[in-house]
Amino acid sequence: MWIVVDLVSSHMSSYEHMGYPTKVQLIKRKQSEQFYINFPAAIAQALDFSKAEDVEWTISDKKHLILSRKVVPPDPVDVKKTLRS
């Protein structure tokens, strides 16, 4: 399972486009800084994310990040997915 995050328009896309604008947050400390991207509870719940789940970010290009899961829960209903062109 993967999620593509569009860094320019703040839309998430996989097979269908669902817009959830999100702000990038910056936490500055004396010797470091960290950036945070929170995604809405509606997305986490729809995708069955669990607390402390391991995910991996991959840079696709300067406009897109890909969030990948190593363990994916099964779909509750078997649905055929078609790619839109």
What contacts 37, CB < 8 A, 6 or more positions away? 5, 22, 24, 25
- Per-residue pLDDT, 60: 94
Coil, helix or strand for 36?
Answer: strand
Q: How many domains is the chain partitioned into structurally?
A: 1
Tell me the residue range of the domain where 39 lies.
2-69
83 domain residue, yes or no: no
The string of pLDDT tens digits covering residues 60-79 is: 999 998 999 988 888 877 77
46 domain residue, yes or no: yes
9 domain residue, yes or no: yes
The string of pLDDT tens digits covering residues 37-64 is: 888 888 888 889 999 999 999 999 999 9
10 domain residue, yes or no: yes
74 domain residue, yes or no: no
Helix (H) or strand (E) holding 46: helix 41-46
Q: What angle do CA 44, 48, 54 make, to 5 degrees?
A: 80
What pTM was estimated for this model as a whole? Answer: 0.59
The string of pLDDT tens digits covering residues 18-34 is: 678 889 999 999 999 99
Q: CA 12 to CA 19: how far, in whole Å? A: 6
